[in-house]
Structure 1
Amino acid sequence: MLENIVWRNVFIISALHAASCYGIYLKSFDIHLYSRIFFLFYAHVSGWGVTAGRHRYFSHRSFKGNRAVDILLMLMTCTAFEQSIFTWCRDHRLHHKHSETNADPYNSKRGFFFCHLGWVLLRKHPDVKEKGKSIDMSDLKANPTVMFEYKYCLLLSFIFTIIVPLVVPMYFWNERFLVALFYGTIYRYALVLHMTWSVNSFAHLYGMRTYDKSIKPAENNLVSTIAFGEGFHNYHHTFPWDYKAAELSGDFRNMTTYLIDLLAAVGMVTERKTVSQNLIEKRKERTGDSTWKATTSSIKDIFIYLTYIYIVS
């Protein structure tokens, strides 16, 4: 077991969380209001970079975008370093193709800790490496924006994950260095990582299986609320091509869909793929667990989100 541990990653993740705890400690002191606002804004940009960019656009191609969208979403992904777009998408496509097997990079059958964080700390299972070679990545290899980011991933991530959130508060409203570093940069980064990881863990282990009760991914309302719509996970694994990643549209819990719709409204996004309601209902009846009916977000969901915002800021 010890030989499978990537000690470099253990050190980095441990240091990241220790530094984040100091960032939380600094929250109890006087922090400029603009810093709090900027922190929330940048955290949302990072989150959307993962959900709209890495996940729904680059991994699943659930909608089409022009070159400006390519560049915009690429830069947004760089605000929360989670490997290159190419590597992230390859692992995610592998996750869908071989879900809950040894070839799944974050196999939830190996337990909560592994699928949430442990997979980052351990060497990949041999099946992940072997099956990963069979994943079709030709579309991303042909995308110059993705290949540019792949080549300069470390530099771009360093600039947009660390330098920008560090320098902006210090330069524009004279925020203290320690606050900008530990609160606005490191704590924000760790928070977005856990937001992403929660989809691999909570949304695979806890919730209802409305559309396919034979698979592990579940409908997890809390994850949907804090991860901008990524917690409707039983639906997503049943219909992975739907750009909403959920049955619901125009819903508060799925802010990623709002962003994509906004880009479509200004002509930057086209061909948003969806699933017909008739097909959804038939799938529910045939393979679902009959435990949940689609409803729009409630006051409770808004309260959960606002509480989450209050806690993290």
Structure 2
Amino acid sequence: MTALGVTAGAHRLWSHRSYKAKLPLRIFLAIANSMAFQRGFFFSHIGWLFVRKHRDVIEKGRKLDFSDLLDDPVVMFQRKHYVVSVILMCFVVPTLVPWYFWKESLWNSYFLASILRYTVSLNVAWLVNSAAHMYGYRPYDKNINPRENALVSLGAIGEGFHNYHHTFPFDYSTSELGLKFNPTTWFIDFMFWLGLVTERKQAPREMVQARKERTGDGSS
């Protein structure tokens, strides 16, 4: 649930706009994103936390079109109450659930369900921006650093198909469809089946194949 707030929510829905979600799903993803406590704070792996944004990045960032986010009441509500939602969903709720439902001690609940879960989920997410840019194959574009990394996809529930994602950033699945391990795509597809997702964007197979033949490294 925590990971879906990042992968299906902040990443595929709100950053890349690769599909549209109805209000109940957006609320769920905002809650899960608060539990993840990552939006706006961490990028690449942990070293980037100690680097100030260059003034040119800040200046050009102000020119980006965020009108869809500014018009989304769920996003703006979470932004307005972000500190409270993070404290509640990232630390308080994960501590209280095992304490209340299966009588775990508050000490164990806090350090396992809250702190350990948070630490693991952060580092797995950071691997997408570190390991998945260093180790793996580049079947779609050998001229860029992002790579297909199965281990990262396993840990980050489908976000390790990174060469594909950077080649076709608009594709909601972030990978070619098939039996590949991509729980975030499965989740979005299930929400589509329930009627909570619309307008899933995909790269046509002909486009994908043509790109592989033109710029890929020859790996499958």
Tell me whether the two structures share a fold, i.e. TM-score over 0.5. Answer: yes
Q: What is the TM-score with the length of structure 1 in the denominator?
A: 0.68
The alignment status of 1:52 with 2:23, answered yes or no, reads no
| Offset at residue 135 of structure 1 (A) | 1.9
Offset, 1:147? 0.5
Aligned length: 220
Following superposition, the deviation at residue 209 of structure 1 comes to 1.0
Range moving further from structure 2, 237-246 or 129-138? 129-138
Amino acid at match of 2:124: M
Within a 5 Å distance, the mapping from 1:208-287 to structure 2 comes to 208-251=137-180, 253-287=181-215
Deviating beyond 6 angstroms after TM superposition, the runs of 4 or more aligned structure 1 residues are none
Which consecutive unaligned segments of at least 5 residues does structure 1 have?
1-44, 89-104, 107-114, 294-313
Residue 161 of structure 1 corresponds to 90
- Partners of 2:160 and 2:77 in 1: how far apart? 30
Match of 1:29 in 2: none
Structure 2 counterparts to residues 48-197 of structure 1, below 5 A: 48-83=4-39, 87=40, 115-197=44-126
When Rg is computed on C-alpha atoms for both structures, the one with the higher figure is: 1
TM-align CA RMSD: 1.4
Aligned letter for 2:204?
S
Secondary structure, counterpart of 2:38 in structure 1: coil
Give, in angstroms, the shift of residue 250 of structure 1.
Answer: 4.4
Q: 2 CA distance for matches of 1:212 and 1:133?
A: 29
Under a length normalisation based on structure 2, what TM-score does the superposition of the two structures give?
A: 0.95
2:55 and 2:199 map into 1 onto residues whose CA distance is 37
Give the share of equivalent positions with the same residue, in percent.
47
